[in-house]
């Protein structure tokens, strides 16, 4: 290699290894620049919790999605890209408040969330139900039928079930507090283990 | 179907950085990389779903790199710190270490022309803009480089692959 001149050796530059730190630094700069230019339509991060890794995503309006690992976070991001905007970046700072409140919740130091929410992933009756779910207080439960009555549509028991099953903001919008009339768990987007964990957590507090 | 932009950065960030480094050197490559992805993120929603994302990014990177060159009126490829010799790590799309060794032995102009043409996919006019000289000279340098490679590197067997 003695004939390589260091002045302009394109190939050395090309083949120099690119370490992960460099890319992490560039990514952080991109997030900063993109935020400053108002280009981050969806910011997301992931956090660890007693119910596994949770993905948190926010639009400028507020928290738009909480997703369990069993929902497949890559697929969740694809769906966000399709339904909201493909300008999706891992930008944890926008999720700082949400992450902190969720941590406090799992530490039993928080009984209600006061985060701005963006409910634009659900519509109509489902969104109506999801708006009312926070009225079920910490540590309490309601049946699907009671929730149907709560939203003024007592016959819509199955539709309430669907609204709970498609809740884009589990944990924060407490669909885990809705059970079947006979006390059975019903379904849960994060799996029945997660639902049990949340109910036990709130019962023990 | 369009992916989240984060996945685009994760998948193509390294290649774009290599292209920027090839065009500008290590020091200015970071700026070009940042400009490239910022500009790409702005335009991303309008990119057709069928587009080749990497080719699109390389096109933007080339344009950004040429902007930097023009703005600075600099001599091409002046860089601050250099590794001693080529490594065999991570040349995009190639584990043909022998081939890159052969490229490394080409005369300067030919080597640069080959790299710009075949790694960064630049046109001869764009290469001329960076190397100086005419478009014809850039075309000749790339063609001569290719002929030299054909002479010195007849088979494209990657190093370590037993035949």
Chain B contact present for A200, CB below 8 A: no
Residues B9 and B56 in one domain: yes
Which residue segment(s) compose the domain that A71 sits in?
19-106
Tell me if A186 is assigned to some domain.
yes
- The DSSP symbol for B57 reads H
Q: For the stretch A172-187, what's the b/e string if a residue is b when 16 or more beta carbons lie within 10 angstroms of its beta carbon?
A: bbbbbbbbeeeeeebe
CA atoms of B32 and B76, how far apart (whole Å): 15
Number of domains in chain B: 2
Q: Which alpha helices (H) appear in chain A, and where do they start and end?
A: 10-15, 20-36, 73-83, 96-106, 124-132, 144-150, 157-165, 192-204
Assess contact for A172 and A66: CB atoms under 8 A: yes
Q: H or E stretch including B33?
A: helix B26-43
Same domain for A138 and A98: no
Please indicate, yes or no, if residue B161 is contained in any of the structural domains.
Answer: no
Domain stops at, among B72, B88, B115: B72
In this predicted structure, what is the pLDDT of residue B150? 82
Q: How far apart are CA A177 and CA A135, in angstroms?
A: 10
Q: Which residues of B touch A13 (CB under 8 A)?
A: 21-22, 25-26, 77, 79, 82
Q: Could you give the percent of chain A with pLDDT greater than 70?
A: 91
The model's pLDDT over A27-45, given as tens digits with 9 standing for 90+, comes to 999 999 999 999 999 999 9
Q: Assign A67 to helix, strand or coil.
A: strand
Structural domain count of chain A:
2
Of A13, A81, A87, which is closest to B22 when you measure between CB atoms?
A13
Q: State whether residue A4 sits within 8 Å of chain B by CB.
A: yes
Please say which residue of A106, A135, A170 terminates a domain: A106
Dihedral of the alpha carbons of B48, B53, B58, B63, in degrees to the nearest 10: 20
Provide the ipTM. 0.88
Split at pLDDT 50, 70, 90, the class of B115 is: confident
Chain A touched by B26 (CB under 8 Å): yes
Q: In this structure, is the dihedral angle defined by the CA atoms of residues A133, A134, A135 and A140, taken in order, positive or negative? A: positive
CATH number at residue A130: 1.10.10.10
Establish if A61 belongs to a structural domain: yes
pLDDT, one tens digit per residue, over A105-132 is 999 999 999 999 999 999 999 999 999 9
Tell me if B12 is assigned to some domain: yes
Q: Which of B15, B37, B72 is the last residue of a domain?
A: B72
């Amino acid at each position: 290699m003695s004939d390589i001149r260091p002045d302009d050796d394109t190939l050395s530059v090309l083949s120099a290894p690119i370490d992960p730190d460099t890319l992490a630094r560039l990514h952080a700069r991109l997030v900063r620049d993109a935020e400053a230019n108002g280009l981050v339509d969806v910011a997301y991060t992931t956090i660890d919790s007693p119910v596994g890794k949770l993905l948190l995503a926010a639009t400028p309006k507020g928290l738009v999605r909480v997703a369990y690992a069993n929902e497949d976070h890559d697929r969740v991001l694809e769906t966000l890209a399709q339904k909201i905007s493909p300008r999706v970046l891992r930008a944890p700072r926008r999720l700082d408040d949400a992450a902190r409140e969720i941590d406090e919740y799992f530490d039993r130091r928080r009984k209600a969330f006061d985060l701005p929410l963006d409910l634009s992933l659900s519509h109509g009756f489902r969104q109506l139900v999801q708006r009312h779910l926070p009225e079920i207080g910490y540590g309490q439960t309601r049946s699907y039928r009671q929730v149907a009555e709560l939203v003024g549509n007592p016959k819509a028991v199955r539709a309430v079930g669907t609204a709970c099953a498609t809740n884009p903001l589990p944990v924060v919008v407490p669909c885990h507090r809705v059970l079947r009339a006979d006390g059975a768990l019903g379904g849960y987007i994060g799996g029945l283990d997660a639902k049990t964990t949340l109910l036990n957590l709130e019962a023990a507090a | 179907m369009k992916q989240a932009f984060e996945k685009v950065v994760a998948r193509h960030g390294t290649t774009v950085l290599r292209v920027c480094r090839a065009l500008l050197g290590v020091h200015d490559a970071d700026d070009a990389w940042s400009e490239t992805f910022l500009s790409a993120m702005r335009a991303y929603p309008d990119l057709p779903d069928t587009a080749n994302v990497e080719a699109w990014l390389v096109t933007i990177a080339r344009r950004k790199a040429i902007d930097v060159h023009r703005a600075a009126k600099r001599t091409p490829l002046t860089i601050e710190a250099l590794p001693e010799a080529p490594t065999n790590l991570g040349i995009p799309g190639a584990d043909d270490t022998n081939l890159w060794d052969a490229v490394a032995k080409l005369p300067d102009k030919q080597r640069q022309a080959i790299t710009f043409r075949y790694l960064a996919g630049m046109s001869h006019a764009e290469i001329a803009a960076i190397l100086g000289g005419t478009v014809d000279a850039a075309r000749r340098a790339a063609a001569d480089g290719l002929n030299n490679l054909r002479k010195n590197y007849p088979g494209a067997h990657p190093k370590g692959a037993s035949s």
